[in-house]
Chain A
């Protein structure tokens, strides 16, 4: 009985008696642990990339169209993610969409003379799907076989059945014209409808105001969660902050109304300065200030600073070397001498790297290393040569141009950030200077690209976005340099900060939804269902008892069972839900196209799984996010649509898809590891 009261005897408060290694994690770090964050960043980056490169990509009409096409993938990704978190796969999910479409279409056309009502056909397809799902779940639970094998069996059976029945009854694999069936009108409106609302006058305005509120509340929420609060707020500073905010809003609104190309510079400057003033004075009014740290610029900072400036310069001027509209293959575009240089460089690069690591490496092991290198090095050099040459054979000039600008710009930004981070603990002055330089670099890039580009969007959207980023960097640098950062939790402030962020996210989502759903005045039901199922799936997973059980069943099935979770039931339900969703998507596609191919959905099951994995879901189960899976589907849809819009080789999307999958999994793993280490 002694041990329990030791801490009281010592007079230690419980908070202090804890493990010192567990330090307080700030809001950013906590954000990084969430599984969907990688997918969110990825979606924004991929979007921005194609937005800047294709004249056709990202316009209202094309966005609505590709979202409509992507909706089936998104809906399936939601439920496949749930199943994956529960520790299982369903390879029959893809052909299930075909099976549902074929069942409905055949019944509606041939079941009796003249066919039967869709009010019977569609529930029948759902019933069939439910049985398939139950069978999958039953077999997996009963036999303990991997679901990969069990559902692979289902996959082949269903695939075969689709073809056999479609051919026998309909005499060809394409079953068309269900629109004569009873009830078609209702289901078409419900599942595949496009409802026109006419001109949405305020769509742009709602989007901009919502986006601004989102950004503002996000920044305020993060500030609330990471700084030390003052006893009482200073009214003078607060008044300045309010004035700054008013100026910011006025500036942006005026900019939005005028043409930003030849635009109202004054309005732009007022808006940006207002933003900085609002953020800085708000933090001055409410939070404790911090002492200056005086020190020299560390070497690490110098290196990163040089790299950052170099990256930004490349991003600003590299575009001029290439013609934006040049669609020629890179290898053919290059002059012969340049081709030779590139080839020699590609072949010798591994050799140079080997020599470098050799010079640095362990001296005693050199003999052994040389022996193995004599065998391996020629192979490595050859592979490098082939890789680089085929890469240049695959990409066009405009693609290389886009990649160079994006890579140099983002690389430069990361280097600037690292330089600032290295300076943070050593010198306040240098921290501020590097922050200001970084902000200035973004302004510089914005103007450089604006002068260079001939796409209108560059002058408007991207120009404004880059300036906004520059402003936020400047403001946060000043706030961080002059205010004390919190190192312990403050329940009240944390709660307030979280609430602000939440309100911001809700407002931003409403604005985004308005833009996406009503983008060209047409409301597409498929996109609505995608959003609907994402919200429902995320709610079930994170807020209900059932979601807790899904995590547990996927994470440690025996543990779940031992604590009284009906593990088998959970899995069966997940399989049934997946099949039912397949039936739903099948019905949706049938209603939209008015016909179904018997092979429909064949091979799609892997795309669902890829979307879930890109969204941060663990292949081994027990961890993941529904919203992430939905974003993963969005990333795939963007790349599918963006590559042709950027006038690149259409087949290149598979390469892109593979790269996106690999990179996102690596990034997710890295982020999760980092975030969990630093606690």
Chain B
């Protein structure tokens, strides 16, 4: 479809835990500027799949290519250094810390102050505010604790953080599972905004209503197996439900 080369390419990935087949022969591609949705009911293998992508697990067999080169990650740190960032459900944030401190946690911008290094708080405040504005969210006071933000806003901080720190591929693990309708819409808006900045976004969800409006490509898993991989044009809501419930297989 597109002339672009895929950012990520997974070819016949399988993962076994002892006798348990967690994943079997799953393939997909992730393109820059697109949202790839991974759908499936509980126990379908979604978690195993993203853990392989984010470098937490190694696949038992199959090829994992990043920008055309085959890779094998020893740790999530290696994946992150290539720009594969994961936003987990628990959001990796300290609720009592301010927005800007959370935004730069672990990668604080430093300023030399004579012989000692101090955090460049002015830069951090400004940058956090700007980066979030780019995703369409206006946090008036970056000094307020993250715990006082709504669930959707907290997701947006995490997404903006990943984008700012050079993510090429952004993996979102059930970002809307704990949110209300309005908040979910907000977050899905940020997901689109992130894709619009030429990132490859992988959205994991079990909610087809959330996946359909934002996704470009859909990978549907059931009991560790790929049931189908479809473009948006080929899909309706009813068909998606049927595929997810595992009653039929895509061609």
The answer to whether residues A562 and B193 also contact, given A6-B136, A545-B110, A552-B97 and a CB cut-off of 8 A, is no
Q: How far is the CA of A618 from the CA of B147 in the complex (A)?
A: 15
B213 to chain A, nearest CB (A): 10
Counting chain B CB atoms within 10 Å of each CB, which of A18, A555, A676 scores highest?
A555
A560 in contact with B105 given A551-B94, A555-B95, A622-B94 (CB within 8 Å): yes
Give the secondary structure class of B's interface. Answer: loop
Q: Does A548 interact with chain B (Cβ within 8 Å)?
A: yes
| Size band of the interface chain A makes with B | 35 or more
What distance in Å separates the Cβ of A668 from its nearest Cβ neighbour in chain B? 13
- Total interface residues on B, using CB and 8 Å? 39
Could you mark each residue 508-551 of chain A with 1 if its beta carbon is under 8 Å from any beta carbon of chain B, else 0?
Answer: 00000000000000000000000000000000000111011101
Q: Does A359 contact B (CB under 8 A)?
A: no
Q: Knowing A544-B117, A545-B108 are in contact, say whether A559-B138 is a contact too (CB < 8 A).
A: no
Name the residue of chain B whose CB is nearest to the CB of A1: B196
Within 8 A of B (CB), among A613-655: 618, 622-623
Contacting pair B105 A3 (CB below 8 A): no
Q: Across the interface, which residues of B come within 8 angstroms of A556, CB to CB?
A: 92-95
Does A17 lie at the interface of the complex (its beta carbon under 8 Å from any beta carbon of B)?
yes
Please tell me if the beta carbons of B96 and A623 are within 8 angstroms of each other in the complex.
Answer: yes
- CA A679 – CA B141 in complex, angstroms? 9
Cross-chain contact B93 with A559 (CB below 8 angstroms): yes
Please report the C-alpha to C-alpha distance between residue A351 and residue B170 in the assembled complex, in whole angstroms.
64
Cross-chain contact A563 with B106 (CB below 8 angstroms):
yes
Is there a chain B Cβ closer than 8 Å to A354's Cβ?
no
In the complex, residue of chain B having the shortest beta-carbon distance to the beta carbon of A562: B92
Which residues on A sit within 8 Å (CB–CB) of B139?
18
CA distance A679 to B80 in the complex (A): 35
CA distance A544 to B105 in the complex (A): 12
**B140 and A7 form a contact (CB under 8 A):** no
- Chain B residue nearest to A4 (CB atoms) is B193
Task: Verify A551–B192 contact, CB threshold 8 A.
Answer: no
List the A residue with the shortest CB-CB distance to B191. Answer: A3
Our count of residue pairs bridging A and B at CB distance below 8 angstroms stands at 106
Q: Which residues of B contact A24 (CB under 8 A)?
A: 140
A559 adjacent to B91 (CB under 8 Å) = yes
Q: Nearest chain-A residue to B192 (Cβ)?
A: A3
Instruction: Give every chain B residue within 8 A of A22 (Cβ-Cβ).
Output: 140-141
Q: Which of B90, B97, B135 has the most chain A CB within a 10 Å cutoff? A: B97
Establish whether residues B196 and A559, one from each chain, have CB atoms under 8 Å apart when the complex forms.
no
Cross-chain contact A564 with B107 (CB below 8 angstroms): yes
A326 CB within 8 Å of chain B: no
State the CA gap A564–B101 with chains docked (Å).
Answer: 14
Q: Is B42 located at the chain interface by the 8 A CB criterion?
A: no
What chain A residues lie within 8 Å of B143 (beta carbons)? Answer: 30
Q: Measured between alpha carbons, how far is A555 from B107 in the docked complex, in Å?
A: 17
A544 with B118, Cβ < 8 A, contacts A564-B107, A565-B105 known: yes
Residues in B with CB closer than 8 Å to A560 are 94, 105-106
A622 & B97 in contact (Cβ 8 Å cutoff): yes
- Residues in B neighbouring A543, C-beta threshold 8 A: 118-119, 121
Offer 29 A-B interface pairs, CB within 8 angstroms, sorted by A.
Answer: A1-B193, A1-B196, A3-B136, A3-B189, A3-B193, A4-B189, A15-B140, A18-B140, A19-B140, A30-B143, A489-B140, A543-B118, A543-B119, A545-B110, A547-B119, A548-B105, A551-B94, A554-B94, A555-B97, A556-B94, A558-B90, A559-B90, A559-B105, A560-B105, A562-B92, A563-B105, A563-B106, A564-B77, A679-B141
